[in-house]
Amino acid sequence: MNGRDAFINPSSGASYVWHIGHDAEESFGKARSIEHSAPTTGKGLIRQQGASTPMALRLTGTILHSAQHSQFIYWWNLCETQTIWFDDFDDDRYEVLILDFNPTRQRTLRNSRDPSIPYHYWTYQLNLEVVRFISGPWTGVTP
C-alpha cells in the first residue's frame, strides 16, 4: 500500500489508508513454552513443548483528523464479526482482530490539520491480535 498503514476488509475489498501512520510499536515476536519433568529412569529431564504464545501488535500514535478517529472506531466495530487485514508501512500484511482501541483526547491551542476539531487531537494505543501472517518475514509461522 505504498508505505502507509492501512486496514482492508477481506470480505468486501474496502480499505482505509490511515491519514497518519502509527508512531511507535512495542517489540513483538513469538515465545515457545517448554515444560520439564523428571523421567522415571532418572536420566535427565524430559522436555515437552506446548503451544507458542499468540502474536499481538501494540501500536501507539497520534490522530489529527476526526475522520481517522471515526474510521478506527468503524474498523474496531467490524472486528466484532470478522477479521480484517492490517498493512503496515513496510507492506507486511497481517490478518488481525482489533482487541483494544484506546484514544485519549488531548487539548491543543490549534489543530491546523482538521478545522472540524480545532482545539484537540487524540493519542492512541491500538492492540491487534494476529490471526494469520499473509506477507512479510513471519509468513509461514503459526501466529
- Measure the CA–CA gap between 126 and 111, rounded to whole angstroms: 22
Confidence check: pLDDT of 141 > 80 = yes
Which candidate, 77, 123, 120, 124, places its Cα nearest to that of 101? Answer: 124
In a domain, 141, yes or no: no
Contact 130, 84 (CB under 8 A): no
pLDDT one-digit tens code per residue, 111-137:
999 999 999 999 999 999 999 999 999
| pLDDT of amino acid 102 | 97
Give the mean pLDDT of the chain: 91
| pLDDT of amino acid 18 | 96
DSSP state for residue 93 in the 8-state scheme: E
- Confidence bin at 17 (pLDDT 50/70/90): very high
Confidence check: pLDDT of 1 > 60 = no
| pLDDT of amino acid 107 | 97
> Where residue 99 sits, what CATH number does that domain have?
2.40.30
Confidence check: pLDDT of 88 > 90 = yes
Which candidate, 97, 121, 125, places its Cα nearest to that of 110? Answer: 121
For residue 44, give its domain range: 6-135
In a domain, 94, yes or no: yes
Prediction pTM value: 0.85
